Structure 1
């Protein structure tokens, strides 16, 4: 048994959960927060047989594509003696971070 943990962007989470459930996988969805942009993420947990891990990862890759986004820094709260120049920054968002962990024991009661 394996536990697949996928951290995905909120925008991709519902379609991923729907697809995994339609394919027959049990899914637990947890709200989480990303580090760099402090944006909402979703952590998806699913327990699968070892031979099904590649199929689950394939579904995640299909539905959680990375894309570029332009962020604009917020305006300064107070002007200092220096000059403040806010530049838009292009960052890559989306995609998925996936962990696959061995499970020694699984029970569903």
Structure 2
């Protein structure tokens, strides 16, 4: 058995949660905050049998999308606050997944 920790943007979390349920995957959804843009994320904890890991990852891949967002360079580099730089475009979103082995699983 494995546990997948999937960190996704808030914008994708509701659809992902619905698709995971539809695919027969149980999950726990936790609010989290990203380190890059300090934006709202959700972290899904998903217990998965070894043979279904790829199926779960495919559900995540299909429902978590990258998108472009504009940020001011001062947001990324506070030392640049004195310059009047224009916003820059960055890619955000998608999913970051960690797959970890589970030694034991117990449900009460």
Q: Is TM-score (shorter-chain normalized) higher than 0.5?
A: yes
Bigger Cα Rg: 1
Q: Deviations over 1:51-91 (max 9, x none)?
A: 000000001110101111112467xxxxxxx9530310111
Paired residue secondary structure (1:7): strand
Q: Number of residues paired by the alignment?
A: 102
Q: What residue ranges of structure 2 are gaps of 5+ in the alignment? A: 75-80
SS at match of 2:31: strand
Q: Residue 83 and residue 25 in structure 1: after superposition, are their counterparts in 2 closer, same or farther (change >3 A)? A: closer
Corresponding residue for residue 31 of structure 1: 31
User: 2:40 matched to 1:45?
Assistant: no
Report the counterpart of residue 102 of structure 1 in structure 2: 101
Runs (5+) with no aligned partner, structure 1? 75-81
Structure 1 length-normalised TM: 0.87
After TM superposition, list the pairs within 5 Å mapping 1:1-109 onto structure 2: 1-72=1-72, 84-109=83-108
Separation in structure 1 between the aligned mates of residue 45 and residue 97 of structure 2, nearest angstrom = 10
Helix, strand or coil at the partner of 2:68: strand
- Computed over aligned residues only, the root mean square deviation of the Cα atoms, in angstroms, reads 1.6
Please list every run of at least 4 consecutive aligned residues from structure 1 whose deviation after the TM superposition is greater than 6 angstroms: none
2-structure distance, mates of 1:94, 1:83: 29
- Determine which structure has the larger helix proportion and give its number: 2
CA gap 1:16/1:83 in 2 versus in 1, 3 angstroms? closer
Change (3 A) 1:83 1:55: closer
